[in-house]
């Protein structure tokens, strides 16, 4: 019959050292992985935008529209825009086929800006595109810097006493970077003003 040999203390020290080393490496890899996830999440583009409109009287039966889009890059990395795909479109809304949507939009915006109607959901069938332009197409590049607001502006002449919707789409150089804003507004005689 054999009696088991007593365990050698030096074997225990080696085993504990090996386990501690494996745990330290695993903990370091786990910590790096989660820090990398957080870093990448912080670098995701974070853009919000708004459209400001100023409608001024113009000779004849026209009005001038000064369109100012404000894009706020709240992210930590710059976003380069595709200057050829960034587009502004202006649609004339047929009020005879979409009076309910326009009435709802007018009531929603009544207290804030009586001359500007927030889009509540315009009837796509009632909208006819009258103008499409690429406001930054002549620029070699356009960048939205981190933690800043950037402006893209345009001026157009429109018919008075109509309802329009402006749609602004900015497109980043990367495939999944598209941001869109729209605003419904009226050029009726009550809405003509200067800021």
Q: Nearest to residue 170, comparing CAs of 65, 53, 60, 50?
A: 50
Contact by Cβ (8 Å): 173, 49: no
Contact by Cβ (8 Å): 184, 119: yes
The predicted model gives 138-157 an average pLDDT of 92
- What pLDDT shows up at residue 39? 78
Q: Taking the C-alpha atoms of 8, 10, 16 and 22 in order, what is their torsion angle to the nearest 10 degrees? A: -120
Contact by Cβ (8 Å): 134, 84: yes
In sequence order, the 6+-apart residues with CB closer than 8 A to the CB of 194 are 54, 56
* pLDDT level of residue 103 (50, 70, 90 thresholds): low
* pLDDT level of residue 101 (50, 70, 90 thresholds): low
d(CA 96, CA 93): 9
The predicted model gives 1-9 an average pLDDT of 55
* Domain 47-186 listed as CATH 2.60.40.10: yes
- What pLDDT shows up at residue 3? 59
Query: Does an H or E element contain 174, and which?
Result: none
- What pLDDT shows up at residue 7? 54
Percent of the chain past pLDDT 70, that is, above it, reads: 76
The predicted model gives 160-167 an average pLDDT of 89
| SS3 state at 105 | helix
Contact by Cβ (8 Å): 75, 149: no
pLDDT at 126 over 60: yes
pLDDT at 6 over 70: no
Strands 87-93 and 127-133: antiparallel
Domain boundaries, the chain: 8-42, 47-186
Pick the more confident residue, 59 or 67: 67
Q: Nearest to residue 54, comparing CAs of 153, 139, 133?
A: 153
Strands 163-171 and 178-186: antiparallel
What pTM does this model have?
0.65
Mean pLDDT, all residues of the chain: 79
- What pLDDT shows up at residue 116? 42
pLDDT at 190 over 50: yes
d(CA 188, CA 25): 70
* pLDDT level of residue 63 (50, 70, 90 thresholds): very high
**Bridge-partner residues for 168, per DSSP?**
88, 181
pLDDT at 67 over 50: yes
Longest dimension (CA), the chain: 117
The predicted model gives 15-29 an average pLDDT of 90
């Amino acid at each position: 019959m054999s009696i088991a040999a007593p365990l050698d203390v030096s074997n225990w020290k080696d085993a504990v050292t090996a386990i501690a080393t494996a745990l330290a490496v695993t903990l370091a890899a786990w910590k790096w992985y989660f820090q990398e996830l957080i870093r990448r999440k912080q670098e995701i583009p974070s853009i919000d935008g708004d459209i400001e409109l100023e409608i001024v009287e113009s000779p004849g039966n026209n009005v001038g529209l000064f369109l100012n889009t404000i894009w706020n890059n709240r992210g930590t990395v710059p976003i380069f825009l595709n200057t050829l795909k960034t587009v502004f479109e202006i649609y004339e809304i047929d009020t005879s086929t979409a009076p309910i949507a326009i009435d709802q939009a007018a009531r929603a915006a009544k207290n804030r800006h009586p001359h500007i109607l927030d889009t509540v959901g315009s009837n796509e069938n009632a909208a006819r595109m009258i103008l499409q332009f690429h406001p930054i197409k002549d620029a070699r590049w356009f960048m939205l810097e981190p933690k800043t607001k950037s402006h893209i502006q345009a001026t157009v002449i429109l018919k008075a006493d109509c309802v329009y919707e402006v749609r602004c789409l900015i497109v980043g150089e990367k495939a999944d970077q598209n941001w869109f804003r729209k605003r419904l507004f009226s050029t009726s005689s009550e809405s003509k003003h200067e800021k």
